[in-house]
Structure formats: C-alpha cells, structure tokens
Amino acid sequence: MEPRSKSIEIGLNAAIVAVEKLEPLILVTTRDEAGAGDARDALPFGPFNPLAHRTLEMGLRSWVGEQAALELGHVEQLYTFGDRGRHASPGDEGPHVVSIGYLALSRIRENTRATIAGYRAEWRPWYGYFPWEDWRDGRPEILGDVIMPLLHDWAGETPGPAERRLALPRAVRLKLAFGEDTSHWDEERVLDRYELLYEAGLVEEALRDGRAAALDRGEAPRLGRPMQFDHRRILATAISRLRGKLKYRPVVFELMHDAFTLTELQNTVEAISGRHLHKQNFRRLVEKAALVEPTGAVAAATGGRPAALYRFRREILEERPAPGLRVGARH
C-alpha cells in the first residue's frame, strides 16, 4: 500500500421517494441471491463521468432514466459523504469512493424497471428503516420500550477523550435529538437521531463498521432495517431535508396525482412528516397559502361523503416567495 495517494472515484447516490397508500416509499436495490443472508438494501448508485454529462445533476437524471425507467421531478443535492471507512470491508483495497447524495421525487409508475444494473429494484416503505420516525399514530412504542432506556445508558457512560472535545455532552445531544418528554419531538432531526443510534451501537451498521462501543453491549438490538455502506445515513439526510422543504416549497405536489382530495393531500404530508395534523388547521393553511384550486369534480366516494377534487395552482410559484405548508408544532 502506498503512503500518499489513492485513486478516488465519485459516485452519485439517489434517495428516490414516492408516496402510495399513505406510505412514503424509496427505491432500493437488493442482491437477489438465494441463500445469502447478508444481502442488504442499497440506494441506486451510478458513477459520474464528467465527459458524458455537463453537470452532476444531469448525470444523475440520465442514469436513473436509463436504468430505472423513471422520470424524476424535483432533484436536489444533499451532502457529500467521503468518510474513510464508509465502504469499510475488512482489508479494504481499491479506490476510495466519495459519494454525493441526492434527494429525488417521483410518482410511482407501474413500469419501474425490476432490475437496476443487475440488481433487483423495489419500492420499500421508508419507515422500515426508521421505525421510530413514524408518529402518525402517536409515539412509537419502541421509543419508550427500547430506544430511550438504551440511549440513556449510553449517555451515562464516560466518553473517550476524542469525543469529550466535541461541543456537547451525550446527554445534551440526546435531549436535543429525541426530545425530553413526549412533546418536544422535532421531526426534522432524522439524521441527528440516526447518528446517535449509530454511535450508541444500536444499528447494525455500527457493528459492521467495527465500533468497539457497539461490541461491548452483548445483546444490543439492531434497530430498523439496515442498508449497505452508509446509505441509511444518506436516506436519513433525505428525509430530514424533505420534511423541512415541505414547509416552504410546494414539493408535495410532485408526489400527488394531478387531482386529489384535501384529505389525500393531508395524508401525504402526514406520511412524510411522520406526524398527525389537525384537519381544520391543515385546510385553512392550504386555503390561505392559495396552493390549490378546485377542479369542480368530486372523488368517487370512499366510504363517506364524496370529497371535492383539487389541483395544484402552478401560478403560486410566481406569486409568493416561499409557498409551502408551514405545518405547525403539534396536531
């Protein structure tokens, strides 16, 4: 192994989001091997070739279009992940891969291709990876039963010298990310929470990366469905960003059909933000924001009074600087 240089490759990773039947889904690839128990979900990945594509985003759109037969709506760069060890497998050789994470929104289409670059591709609910993030039916029990007790144990331990120089002590970080009681949950801190769980050795990725802290803890649970490499970190970043963006950009509509009922819209927002919203306040918000207009038609009744159908008012983009659904604190 040479001391000073190592070749670098750039990869583009996309967290492609769609919503269907009240569930936010993301597109993942899995190795479709029979007996292999260690097959893990991965985000679709494509190399960046500066000769073929003028910009990073164009490179991304192009291979997603080719390989998954998907057209993407809103696309935004999230973060560039370059930590050594992110592709850690014992005795790592080969080039260092720096990957640039992207968030992309899409409507589900039947004809999503079933394989991407030889891997099986499928849509999976994102809360499978982050069960503690779904508060739509109240606080998930796993938080009180499993997560918080273990994190409090972890916060009680004495950190190593490297960690002690960081700005905030463990207990404080815990309080900020997960809230104290059941009330101070900030749905945008998805990444903060995942990183604490990682540091505390409560997700499988931490064990795999060989963190000593994790090994100490005999039968620690492995929370949520794991992913390959650091893809769950990228996904956590994507969820954080999308939950925030909802509030000042009309991005939800990229996940809706052309016509929808207000309840469907509310359900979609709730699915993404992982919280239950107050019906009237949500409706007033939508109305005041002038984000939608009635189509005149009504939805085929789904077991009650038929609902009026609406469409997105594209003109809002020209009228207001930050058109979004500033969904508030509680309810």
Partner DNA sequence: TCAAAAGTGTTATCCTTACACCCATGT
Partner DNA sequence: ACATGGGTGTAAGGATAACACTTTTGA
Please, which of residues 56-75 interact with a second copy by CB under 8 A?
56
User: Mask of contacts with a second copy, 288-327, x by CB under 8 A?
Assistant: -----------------------------xx--xx-----
Distance of closest approach, residue 148 Cβ to DNA, in angstroms: 23
Backbone angles phi, psi at 245, to 5 degrees: -65, -35
Which does residue 49 touch among a second copy, DNA, none (CB within 5 to 8 A, set by kind)? a second copy
Nearest CA to 101 among 58, 42, 45? 45
Q: CA 138, CA 331: separation in Å to the nearest integer?
A: 10
N-terminal to C-terminal alpha carbon distance within the chain: 57
Nearest CA to 85 among 199, 226, 206, 190? 206
The β-bridge relationship of strands 45-47 and 75-81 is unpaired
User: Mask of contacts with a second copy, 36-55, x by CB under 8 A?
Assistant: ------------xxxx-xxx
Strand residues in the chain grouped as ranges (E): 8-20, 23-30, 45-47, 75-81, 96-105, 115-116, 119-125, 260-261, 292-298, 308-312
Which does residue 307 touch among DNA, a second copy, none (CB within 5 to 8 A, set by kind)? DNA
**Residue 315 near residue 291, CB atoms below 8 Å:** no
Distance of closest approach, residue 31 Cβ to a second copy, in angstroms: 26
> Nearer Cβ to DNA, position 215 or 297?
297
Determine, following the binding rule CB under 8 A, whether residue 84 of this chain makes contact with a second copy. Answer: yes
Which does residue 79 touch among a second copy, DNA, none (CB within 5 to 8 A, set by kind)? a second copy
# binding residues, a second copy (CB under 8 A):
37
Length of the chain: 331
Q: CA gyration radius for the chain?
A: 21
Stretch that binds a second copy, among 7-15, 119-127, 148-156, 294-302 (CB under 8 A): 7-15
Name the site residues for DNA (rule: CB under 7 A): 261-263, 278-281, 283-285, 288, 298, 301-308, 326, 328-331
Q: CA 240, CA 126: separation in Å to the nearest integer?
A: 12
**Cβ atoms within 10 Å, residue 21:** 9
Binding site for a second copy (CB under 8 A): 3-10, 48-51, 53-56, 77, 79-80, 82-85, 96, 98, 100, 167-168, 172, 175-176, 184, 186, 317-318, 321-322
